[in-house]
Amino acid sequence: MQELLNVFKALSDETRLRILKIAEKGEICVCDLVSVLDMSQPKISFHLNTLKEAGLLKDRKQGKWVHYSINDSDMFRRFLVLSVLEKIPGEAVKKNLARLRTVMNIKNKNRCCEK
């Protein structure tokens, strides 16, 4: 039962829904998330860990960086996340997604997790 509760707890936070919405667009590293969401790094790390513990995100370490992405190994979670993200009003995450596009386009300077 606790495992199921952890999934819902993970989904009951606005910041975490934003993270999922961003991760839906593709794998993202912590430093980019900090920049896209404009929140402190420990705060982002805390929420990423919560999502990971709930089995909703998975991580991939590469050098200094850690990349997070939607964990699609479990059908129930995958489906939940899909239907949840569908339900988030576009207006609510508009700015985050715009910022994501901007950050992704800066391939040269200012860009973290890019060799």
Partner DNA sequence: GTAACATATAAACATCTTTTGATTTGTTTG
Partner DNA sequence: CAAACAAATCAAAAGATGTTTATATGTTAC
Q: Does 48 bind DNA (CB under 7 A)?
A: yes
Distance, CA of 96 to CA of 110 (rounded, Å): 18
Contact partner, 84, from DNA, a second copy, none, Cβ < 5-8 Å per class:
a second copy
Between 1 and 30, how does the x/- string for binding to a second copy read (CB under 8 A)?
x--xx--xx-xxxx--x-------------
Q: Judged by CB under 7 A, which stretch of 12-20, 76-84, 86-94, 95-103 contacts DNA? A: 12-20
CB of 31 to a second copy, least distance (A): 25
Q: What DSSP assignment string belongs to the chain?
A: -HHHHHHHHHHS-HHHHHHHHHHTTS-EEHHHHHHHHT--HHHHHHHHHHHHHTTSEEEEEETTEEEEEE--S-HHHHHHHHHHHHHS-HHHHHHHHHHHHHHHH--SSS-SS--
* Window 94 to 113, contacts with DNA (CB under 7 A): 112-113
CB nearer to a second copy: pick between 73 and 108: 73
Query: Taking CB under 7 A as the rule, does residue 47 contact DNA?
Result: yes
